[in-house]
Structure 1
Amino acid sequence: MKKHNTGLYIVLISVHGLIRGRNLELGRDADTGGQTKYVVELARALGEHDLVDKVDLITRRLVDDSVSDDYAQHYEKLSSKARIVRIDCGENAYIPKEQLWDCLDNFADSTLEHLRHQPDLPAVIHSHYADAGYVGTRLAHLLGIPLVHTGHSLGRSKRRQLFAAGFKSQTIEARYNMTTRIEAEETVLGVADRVITSTWQEILEQYSAYDQYQPERMRVVPPGTDLHQFFPPDGMETKGDIAKEIFRFLHDPEKPIILAISRPDPRKNILKLITAYGESDKLREMANLVIIAGNRDDISEMEEDAQNVLQDILLCIDQFDLYGKVAYPKHHKPAEVPVIYRLAAACNGVFVNPALTEPFGLTLIEAAACGLPIVATEDGGPKDIIDNCSNGYLIDPLDSEDIAQKLISAITDRKKWLEFADNGLDGVRKNYSWQAHAEKFLEILQPVVTGAEAAPAFQGKRRKQLHHDRAMFSDLDQNLLGDAAALEKFVKILQANRKCVLFGIATGRRLDSAIQAMKKHRIPMPNVLITGLGTEIHYNPDLVKDVSWELHIDYLWNPRIIRRVLKGLPGLELQAKTEQGRFKISYYINPEISPDVSEINRLLHKEGQAANVVLSFGQFLDVIPVRASKGLALRWVAENHDIPLDRILAAGGSGADEDMMRGNMLAVVVGNRHHEELSELVHAEEIFFSTRPYAGGIVEAIEFYDFFDTCEVQES
Structure 2
Amino acid sequence: MRVMALALGGCLTAKPAYGLTEDTGGHITYILGAMRALAAREDVTAAEIVTRLIDDPSLGREYAAPMENVGPKLTITRTDSGNRAYLTKDALAADRPNFTSALLAHLRSRDVLPDLIHAHFADAAEVARAVREEFGIPFIYTAHSLAKDKAAACVQGTDALGLRIALERDAMMAADCIIGSSRDECERQIQDYGPIGPGKVQRIRPGIDQAPASSADIAKARTLIAPFLRQPEKPVILAIARPVRKKNLTALVKAYAQNPVLSAKANLVILPGLRQSIEAGEAEQVAVMRELADLIDRHDLHGRVAYPRQHTQDDVRGLYGLARQLRGVFVNPALIEPFGLTILEAAVHGLPVVATCHGGPVDILSEIEHGLLVDPYDTKKIGFAIERLLSNDALWQALSSNAEAQITQMDWQAYAAAFMDLSRKIVSGNPAAPESVTPTQLLVCDIDNTLTGCREAAARFVRYLAARPDMAFGVATGRSLVEAQRILREWNLPEPAVFITSVGSEIYWQTPGGLHYDSAFNDRISGGWDADVIAGCLADYEFLRPQLPIEQRRFKRSFTCGSQGAELASTLLREAGLPCKTIFSHDKLLDVLPQRAGKADAVRHVARALGIPLGAVIVAGDSGNDLEMLESHKAAIVVANAEPAVLALDHKPHVYVARARYADGVIEGLDALARSAGKCAEMRASAMEQAA
TM-score by length of 1: 0.49
Distance 1:235 1:73 in 2: 30
Point out where structure 2 has 5 or more consecutive residues left out of the alignment.
433-511, 518-530, 537-544, 551-692
- Mapped pair 1:334 → 2:273: no
C-alpha deviations, 1:64-121, integer Å up to 9, x for none? 99997766765432222112345565x3644742222332552353254245x11xx6
Structure-2 change in CA distance of 1:59 and 1:343 (3 Å): closer
2:685 maps to which residue?
Answer: none
Indicate whether 1:191 and 2:174 are aligned. Answer: yes
For 2:360, give the aligned amino acid. Answer: G
Which residue is 2:34 aligned to? 42
* Residue pairs, 1:638-677, within 5 angstroms: none
**Shift of residue 195 of structure 1?**
1.2
Deviation (angstroms), 1:344:
2.0
1:401 and 1:211 mapped to 2: Cα distance? 34
Partners of 1:428 and 1:27 in 2: CA distance: 25
The residue that corresponds to 2:98 in the other structure is 103
CA gap 1:16/1:522 in 2 versus in 1, 3 angstroms: closer
- Please point out which of 191, 203, 218 is paired with 1:220: 203
Counterparts of 1:239 and 1:217, CA distance in 2: 44
User: CA separation in 2, counterparts of 1:199 and 1:289?
Assistant: 31
Match of residue 148, structure 1, among 140, 162, 174: 140
SS at match of 2:306: coil
The offset of 1:10, in angstroms, is: 1.3
Alignment CA distance shift 1:347-1:128 (3 Å): closer
Instruction: After superposition, give the CA deviation of every residue in 1:478-522 in whole Å (9 maximum; x if it has no partner).
Output: xxxxxxxxx968x99xxxxxxxxxxxxxxxxxxxxxxxxxxx999
Specify the alignment match of 1:607 in structure 2: none
Note if 1:237 corresponds to 2:219: yes
* Cα drift, residue 233 of structure 1: 5.9
Q: After superposition, what is the alpha-carbon deviation per residue over 1:637-693, rounded to whole angstroms, capped at 9, x for unaligned?
A: xxxxxxxxxxxxxxxxxxxxxxxxxxxxxxxxxxxxxxxxxxxxxxxxxxxxxxxxx
Paired amino acid for 1:101: R
Partner in structure 2 of residue 445 of structure 1: 423
1:374 equivalent to 2:360? Answer no
Question: Are the counterparts in 2 of residues 367 and 373 from structure 1 also a CA contact under 8 Å?
Answer: yes
Within 2, Cα distance between the matches of 1:72 and 1:339? 30
Q: Deviations over 1:426-476 (max 9, x none)?
A: 433321x544543443344344345335674899xxxxxxxxxxxxxxxxx
**C-alpha distance 240-157 of structure 1, shift in aligned 2 (>3 A):** closer
1:100 counterpart SS class: helix
Question: How much does 1:312 deviate?
Answer: 4.7
Aligned counterparts of 1:144 and 1:166: Cα–Cα separation in 2:
36
Separation in structure 1 between the aligned mates of residue 132 and residue 116 of structure 2, nearest angstrom: 8
Q: Check whether the contact 1:87–1:110 (CA below 8 A) recurs between aligned residues.
A: no
User: CA–CA distance in 2 between the matches of 1:339 and 1:68?
Assistant: 24
- 2:555 — aligned with what? none
Q: What 5-or-longer segments of structure 1 have no aligned partner?
A: 1-7, 460-486, 493-519, 526-716
Gap change, CA 1:347 and 1:308, over 3 Å in 2: closer
Relative distance call for 1:210 and 1:349 in structure 2 (3 A) is: closer
2:120 paired residue number:
128
Q: CA deviation at 1:418?
A: 4.2
Distance 2:61 2:319 in 1: 36
Matches within 5 A, 1:23-422: 24=16, 34-36=26-28, 38-59=30-51, 75-87=67-79, 89=81, 91=82, 93-94=84-85, 96=87, 97-104=92-99, 106-107=101-102, 109-114=104-109, 117-118=111-112, 122-154=114-146, 169=159, 179=163, 184-203=167-186, 206-211=189-194, 213-214=196-197, 216-228=199-211, 231=213, 236-237=218-219, 240-242=222-224, 244-245=226-227, 248-249=230-231, 253=233, 256-261=235-240, 263=243, 267-268=248-249, 269-270=251-252, 273-274=255-256, 277-278=259-260, 287-292=265-270, 294=272, 307-308=290-291, 311-312=294-295, 327-331=304-308, 333-335=310-312, 336-355=315-334, 357-395=336-374, 398=378, 400=380, 404=384, 407-408=387-388, 412-414=392-394, 417-422=396-401
State the partner residue of 2:408: 429
Note closer, same or farther for the CA distance 1:333–1:521 as it changes in structure 2 (3 Å cut). same
State the 1:328 CA deviation: 0.9
User: Which moves more between the two structures, 142-151 or 63-72?
Assistant: 63-72
Deviation at 1:308, TM superposition (A): 4.9
- Which AA in structure 2 matches 1:11? M
Map 1:542-691 onto structure 2 (within 5 A). Answer: none
1:148–1:192 Cα contact (<8 Å) kept? yes
3-state SS of 1:102 partner = helix
In structure 2, distance between residues paired with 1:308 and 1:239: 25
**Structure 1 residue 343 displacement after superposition:** 1.8
Distance 1:407 1:445 in 2: 46
The CA distance in 1 between the partners of 2:127 and 2:225, in whole Å, is 48
1:52 match: secondary structure? coil
Distance in 2 between the 1:396 and 1:347 partners? 26
Structure 2 Cα separation of the partners of residues 316 and 63 of structure 1: 42
Amino acid at match of 1:412: N
1:591 corresponds in structure 2 to none
Relative distance call for 1:256 and 1:212 in structure 2 (3 A) is same
Secondary structure at the counterpart of residue 49 of structure 1: coil
Task: Decide whether the 8 Å contact of 2:198 with 2:516 is kept in 1.
Answer: no
Q: 1:209 to 1:64 in 2, by over 3 A?
A: same
Query: Is the CA contact (8 Å cut-off) linking 2:217 and 2:318 kept in structure 1?
Result: no
Separation (CA, whole Å) in 1 of partners of 2:220 and 2:79: 48
Q: Which moved more, 1:348-357 or 1:304-313?
A: 304-313
Letter in structure 2 aligned against 1:343 = L
Q: How far apart, CA to CA, are the structure 2 residues paired with 1:14 and 1:365?
A: 23
In 2, Cα distance between the equivalents of 1:183 and 1:257? 42
Q: Is the 8 A contact 1:237 1:340 kept in 2?
A: no
SS in 2 for 1:237: helix
1:689 equivalent in structure 2? none
Query: Against the structure 1 CA distance between its residues 364 and 457, is the aligned structure 2 distance closer, same or farther, given a 3 Å change threshold?
Result: closer
Aligned to 1:647: none
Take 1:55 and 1:224, find their aligned partners in 2: how far apart are those partners? 17
Number of positions where the alignment pairs a residue of Structure 1 with one of Structure 2 = 435
Task: Tell me, in whole angstroms, the C-alpha distance in 2 between the residues paired with 1:54 and 1:144.
Answer: 18
CA contact (8 A) 1:350 1:372 kept: yes
The CA RMSD measured in Å over matched residues stands at 5.0
Distance in 1, matches of 2:56 and 2:248, equals 40
Which residue, 13, 16, 35 being the options, matches 2:6? 13
Q: Report the equivalent of 1:463.
A: none
3-state DSSP of counterpart to 2:170? helix
Alpha-carbon distance, 1:385 to partner: 1.6
1:402–1:49: structure 2 CA closer, same or farther, 3 Å change rule? same
- Taking the aligned partners of 1:272 and 1:332, their CA distance within structure 2 comes to 21
